[in-house]
């Protein structure tokens, strides 16, 4: 007769919750060096969920990172509700002790409305950034936005360069920089760049953060208008792809990361193969490529495991990759 079972062991303690939005943003800011102590960052804030969460996160991270935050909203003159939404953003900024200002632009209805509104918005944000001495403009793009943008570009027939979308940091569009410069005055926007601190987060992470901190936000009804292709991608195509592959957003963002890295790589080499010079090329998986790319950006040496239980060590002198040590085992070697 078997002995009576004893009491069940206590559950193992572990990380039962995913990283918070604050932790995800801080990780990306530090890994990509998006902000440094003393930097002024302008948060583009419309009163919507993404930008409201971004403003809150950037304000909370001031002590840890040492940056300063200002916020700016743009009214495109297309919806009467925009003024009330920007008032919500102003209220949040005031509670956080963040200076807030707005710009009203005129975007006439018609063809290519979203592109024209975007150009006018960035011109206004660039001018406001130059006026505040901001080094960067932060936008609330998430991993979902990046995946949607890649799919939109793919549907329009973009090639590899066109699919390298929404990187964590990017130069200011030329038209926006010109608008900030204003005539023959010195260029105040020459050093301003766009940063996207929420790219490691999903839209669900943003909504959870807003709920956890009881932050009010507004919803733009155009985000549910099926006349816009992006809305159909968001509401129809991406859910279908997630049903087929639950990690599709992560896969699409990883693809964009690889294409961004390939676009910026001086040698133009194959990002999927490590060539250390004299040894044969070593095929790399996605996890190894991510580890190597992150180390390259940080300028640190890295060791990664490769197929067959081996290990390679890499260093990054003067923006190039060098195979320091090869302990991998290859068939037929």
Compute the residue count for the chain: 333
Cα Rg, the chain, nearest whole Å:
23
pLDDT value of position 225 = 82
The rounded distance, in Å, linking the Cα atoms of 321 and 292 is 9
pLDDT value of position 293 = 72
Give the mean pLDDT of 40-66. Answer: 97
pLDDT value of position 76 = 87
pLDDT value of position 278 = 36
The rounded distance, in Å, linking the Cα atoms of 146 and 140 is 11
Is the model more confident about 140 or about 219? 140
How does residue 281 score in pLDDT terms, banded at 50, 70 and 90?
A: very low
Give the mean pLDDT of 124-141. Answer: 95
Domains of the chain, each with CATH number or no CATH: 21-238 (3.40.50.620), 269-326 (no CATH)
The rounded distance, in Å, linking the Cα atoms of 133 and 222 is 32
Give the mean pLDDT of 282-299. Answer: 67
Of 151, 144, 205, 193, nearest in space to 168 by CA: 193
pLDDT(145) > 90: yes
Give the mean pLDDT of 2-26. Answer: 65
How does residue 33 score in pLDDT terms, banded at 50, 70 and 90?
A: very high
pTM attached to this predicted model: 0.74
162-167's contacts with Cβ under 8 Å and 24+ in sequence apart are: 163/255, 163/256, 163/259, 164/256, 164/259, 164/260, 164/262, 164/263, 165/256, 166/141, 166/196, 166/199, 166/256, 167/196, 167/256, 167/257, 167/260
pLDDT value of position 97 = 97
């Amino acid at each position: 007769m078997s002995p009576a079972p004893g009491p069940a062991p206590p559950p193992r303690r572990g990380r039962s919750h995913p990283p918070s939005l604050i932790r995800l943003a801080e990780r990306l800011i530090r890994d990509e060096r998006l902000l440094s102590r003393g930097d002024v960052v302008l948060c583009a804030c419309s009163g919507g969920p993404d930008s409201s969460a971004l403003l809150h996160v950037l304000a909370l991270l001031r002590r840890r990172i040492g940056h300063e935050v200002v916020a700016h909203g743009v009214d495109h003159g297309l919806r009467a509700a925009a003024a009330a939404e920007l008032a919500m953003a102003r209220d949040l900024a005031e509670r956080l002790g963040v200076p807030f200002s707005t710009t009203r632009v005129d975007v006439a209805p018609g063809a290519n409305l979203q592109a024209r509104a975007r150009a006018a918005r960035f011109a206004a944000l660039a001018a406001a950034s130059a006026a505040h001495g901001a080094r960067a403009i932060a936008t609330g793009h998430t991993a979902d936005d990046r995946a949607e943008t890649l799919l939109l570009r793919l549907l329009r027939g973009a090639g590899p360069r066109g699919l390298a979308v929404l990187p964590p940091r990017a130069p200011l569009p030329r038209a926006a920089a010109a608008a900030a410069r204003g005539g023959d005055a010195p260029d105040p926007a020459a050093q301003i760049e766009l940063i996207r601190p929420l790219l490691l987060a999903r839209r669900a992470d943003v909504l959870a953060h807003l709920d956890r901190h009881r932050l009010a936000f507004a919803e733009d009804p155009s985000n549910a208008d099926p006349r816009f292709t992006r809305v159909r991608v968001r509401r129809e195509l991406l859910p279908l792809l997630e049903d087929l592959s639950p990690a599709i957003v992560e896969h699409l963002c990883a693809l964009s990361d690889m294409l961004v890295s390939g676009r910026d790589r001086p040698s133009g080499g194959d990002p999927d193969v490590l060539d250390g010079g004299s040894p044969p090329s070593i095929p790399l998986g996605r996890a190894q490529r991510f580890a190597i790319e992150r180390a390259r950006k940080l300028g640190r040496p890295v060791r990664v495991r490769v197929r067959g239980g081996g290990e390679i060590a890499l260093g990054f002198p003067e923006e190039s990759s060098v195979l320091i040590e090869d302990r991998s085992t290859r068939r037929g070697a």
